[in-house]
Amino acid sequence: QVQLQESGPRLVKPSETLSLTCTVSGGSITTSYWTWIRQSPGKGLEWIAYFYHSGSTAYNPSLKSRVTISVDTSKNQFSLNLSSMTTADTATYYCARRFCDRSSCPFDLWGQGTLVTVSS
């Protein structure tokens, strides 16, 4: 059974870079698309980016200039870096699997989420 777990800091200062890691267990990171999504009271659920291990990536244009996704297949992990953090980036960040055996490529598995607060 595939499971996802986010890890990273809970508190980030304004202007700093957020670094989060998602560890995939029970399955290989090389067999699916993987994605980052965040949720805040003000903006609701917001898709950030997805990638496939072969290098295919896509970003939300609203965040693209600040987002970097990387993958470590040896550790079955992928990471999100979001630069120039502001209070507007305070949110719960989720990693999820994008399951493209279905036409609509739904997000069928989610991590539990990690609340990140931006504050000095």
Partner 1 sequence: DIQLTQSPSSLSASVGDRVTITCRASQSISIYLNWYQQKSGKAPDLLIHDASNLQSGVPSRFSGSGSGTDFTLTISSLQLEDFATYFCQHSYNIPFTFGPGTKVDIK
Between 74 and 104, name the residue whose CB sits nearer to partner 1. Answer: 104
Residues 6+ apart with CB under 8 A from 102: none
What is the nearest approach in angstroms of partner 1 to the Cβ of residue 41? 11
DSSP 24-84: EESS-GGGSEEEEEEEETTTEEEEEEEEETTS-EEE-TTTGGGEEEEEETTTTEEEEEE-S
What is the nearest approach in angstroms of partner 1 to the Cβ of residue 16? 25
Between 10 and 102, name the residue whose CB sits nearer to partner 1. Answer: 102
Between 54 and 103, name the residue whose CB sits nearer to partner 1. Answer: 103
**What tokens appear for 78 in the block?**
């992928």
Q: Residue 119's CB: how many other CB atoms inside 10 A?
A: 10
Closest CA to 78 of 23, 18, 7: 23
What is the nearest approach in angstroms of partner 1 to the Cβ of residue 95? 10
Between 16 and 108, name the residue whose CB sits nearer to partner 1. Answer: 108
Chain residues in the site for partner 1 (CB under 8 A): 44-47, 58-62, 94, 96, 102-108, 110-113
What is the nearest approach in angstroms of partner 1 to the Cβ of residue 40? 12
